[in-house]
Chains A and B, each alone.
Chain A
Amino acid sequence: MTKQYTPGTHPDLPPPTRTRGPIAWMRLNLFSSPLNALLTILSVWLLWLIVPGIMEWIALDSIWTASDRKDCWAQMNEPRDGACWAFIKSSFQLFLFGWYPEDLRWRPMLCFLLFLIAVVGILKDDLPGKRYWLWYAVAFPFIATWLLIGGFGLTPVPTTKFGGILLTLIVGIASLSFSLPIGILLALGRRSKLPALRTVCVLFIEFIRGVPLITLLFVASTMLMYFLPPGSTFDILMRVLIMVTLFASAYIAEVVRGGLQGLSSGQYEAADSLGLNYWRAHQLIILPQALKISIPGIINTFIGAFKDSTLVIIIGMMDILGLGRARLNDPEWLGLAPELYIFVSLFFFICCFSMARYSLSLEKRLATEHKQ
Chain B
Amino acid sequence: MRLKTTLTSAALALALAVTSGVQAGTLEDVQARGVLRCVVSTGIAGFAAPNASGVWEGFDIDFCRATAAAVLGDANKIEAVTSTGKTRFTRLNAGEGDVLWRNTTITFSRDVGVKLRFHGVNYYDGQGFMVKKDLGISSATELDGASVCIQTGTTTELNLADYFASNGMSYEAVTIETNDEARQNYEAGRCDVYTTDASGLASTRSALPDPDAHMVLPEIISKEPLGPATRHGDDQWSDIITWVLNATITAEELGVTSANVDSLAGKTGVSDHPEIRRLLGVDGSQGSELGLANDWAYQIIKQVGNYGEIFERNIGVNTPLGIARGYNALWTDGGLQYSPPFR
Instruction: Report the stretch among B13-21, B150-158, B284-292, B295-303 that lies at the interface.
Output: B13-21
Are A231 and B87 interface neighbours, CB within 8 A? no
If A221-B90, A317-B82 touch, whether A331 touches B53 (CB-CB below 8 Å) is no
Among B42, B207, B210, B315, point to the contact of A313 (Cβ < 8 A): B42
A-B contact count (CB 8 A): 123
Are A322 and B42 interface neighbours, CB within 8 A? yes
Instruction: Report the stretch among A21-29, A187-195, A222-230 that lies at the interface.
Output: A222-230
Among B21, B51, B57, point to the contact of A231 (Cβ < 8 A): B21
Interface string of B43-57 (1 = CB under 8 A from A): 111101111111001
Are A316 and B87 interface neighbours, CB within 8 A? yes
Are A222 and B90 interface neighbours, CB within 8 A? yes
Are A326 and B50 interface neighbours, CB within 8 A? yes
Instruction: Report the stretch among A111-119, A332-340, A352-360, A364-372 that lies at the interface.
Output: A332-340
Is A315 part of the contact surface with B, judged by Cβ < 8 Å? yes
Interface string of B164-182 (1 = CB under 8 A from A): 0000000000000000100
| Size of the chain A interface, CB-CB below 8 angstroms | 43
- Identify the closest chain A residue to B314 (Cβ): A331
Is A103 part of the contact surface with B, judged by Cβ < 8 Å? no
* Cβ–Cβ < 8 Å partners of A225 in chain B: 90, 94-96
Are A316 and B81 interface neighbours, CB within 8 A? yes
- Identify the closest chain B residue to A318 (Cβ): B82
Is B208 part of the contact surface with A, judged by Cβ < 8 Å? yes
Are B91 and A331 interface neighbours, CB within 8 A? no
Chain B nearest CB from A335 CB (Å) reads: 3
A332 to B51, CA, bound (A): 9
Chain A nearest CB from B68 CB (Å) reads: 16
Among A222, A326, A334, point to the contact of B87 (Cβ < 8 A): A222
Interface string of A209-242 (1 = CB under 8 A from B): 0000000001001100110011101001000000
A221 to B86, CA, bound (A): 11
If A94-B53, A334-B207 touch, whether A329 touches B320 (CB-CB below 8 Å) is no
Most chain A beta-carbon contacts within 10 A, residue among B81, B183, B207, B321: B207
Are A331 and B321 interface neighbours, CB within 8 A? yes
Are A316 and B42 interface neighbours, CB within 8 A? yes
Chain A nearest CB from B248 CB (Å) reads: 21
- Identify the closest chain A residue to B82 (Cβ): A316
Are B81 and A329 interface neighbours, CB within 8 A? no
Among B21, B44, B79, B86, point to the contact of A329 (Cβ < 8 A): B44
Is A136 part of the contact surface with B, judged by Cβ < 8 Å? no
* Cβ–Cβ < 8 Å partners of B44 in chain A: 329
Is B83 part of the contact surface with A, judged by Cβ < 8 Å? yes
Are A231 and B43 interface neighbours, CB within 8 A? no
Are A229 and B18 interface neighbours, CB within 8 A? yes
Assign chain B's interface to a size class.
35 or more
Is B271 part of the contact surface with A, judged by Cβ < 8 Å? no
A329 to B51, CA, bound (A): 9
* Cβ–Cβ < 8 Å partners of B42 in chain A: 313, 316, 318, 322, 325-326
- Identify the closest chain B residue to A330 (Cβ): B49
If A229-B18, A322-B42, A332-B320 touch, whether A98 touches B87 (CB-CB below 8 Å) is no
- Identify the closest chain B residue to A223 (Cβ): B90
Is A80 part of the contact surface with B, judged by Cβ < 8 Å? yes
* Cβ–Cβ < 8 Å partners of A328 in chain B: 43, 180
Chain B nearest CB from A138 CB (Å) reads: 34
Chain A nearest CB from B316 CB (Å) reads: 11
A55 to B8, CA, bound (A): 69
Are A230 and B17 interface neighbours, CB within 8 A? yes
Are B50 and A323 interface neighbours, CB within 8 A? yes
Is B206 part of the contact surface with A, judged by Cβ < 8 Å? yes
A79 to B209, CA, bound (A): 6
* Cβ–Cβ < 8 Å partners of B315 in chain A: 331
Are A316 and B84 interface neighbours, CB within 8 A? yes
Are A315 and B87 interface neighbours, CB within 8 A? yes
Are A99 and B45 interface neighbours, CB within 8 A? no
If A327-B43, A328-B43 touch, whether A231 touches B49 (CB-CB below 8 Å) is no
Are A229 and B46 interface neighbours, CB within 8 A? no
Most chain B beta-carbon contacts within 10 A, residue among A78, A98, A230: A230
Is A160 part of the contact surface with B, judged by Cβ < 8 Å? yes
B residues 171-218 touching A (CB-CB < 8 Å): 180, 183, 203, 206-210
If A313-B42, A325-B43, A327-B43 touch, whether A230 touches B207 (CB-CB below 8 Å) is no
Is A39 part of the contact surface with B, judged by Cβ < 8 Å? no
- Identify the closest chain B residue to A230 (Cβ): B21
Query: Could you write out 24 A-B pairs with CB less than 8 Å apart?
Result: A69-B207, A73-B209, A78-B209, A91-B51, A94-B53, A221-B90, A226-B94, A229-B17, A230-B17, A230-B22, A230-B94, A230-B95, A315-B87, A316-B87, A318-B82, A322-B42, A326-B42, A326-B49, A329-B43, A329-B44, A329-B49, A329-B203, A334-B45, A334-B320
Closest 6 CB pairs of A and B: A335-B207, A230-B21, A79-B209, A326-B43, A225-B94, A334-B207
Extra inter-chain contacts (7) besides given A218-B87, A330-B50, A331-B320, CB under 8 Å: A225-B96, A229-B17, A230-B18, A314-B84, A318-B82, A332-B320, A334-B320
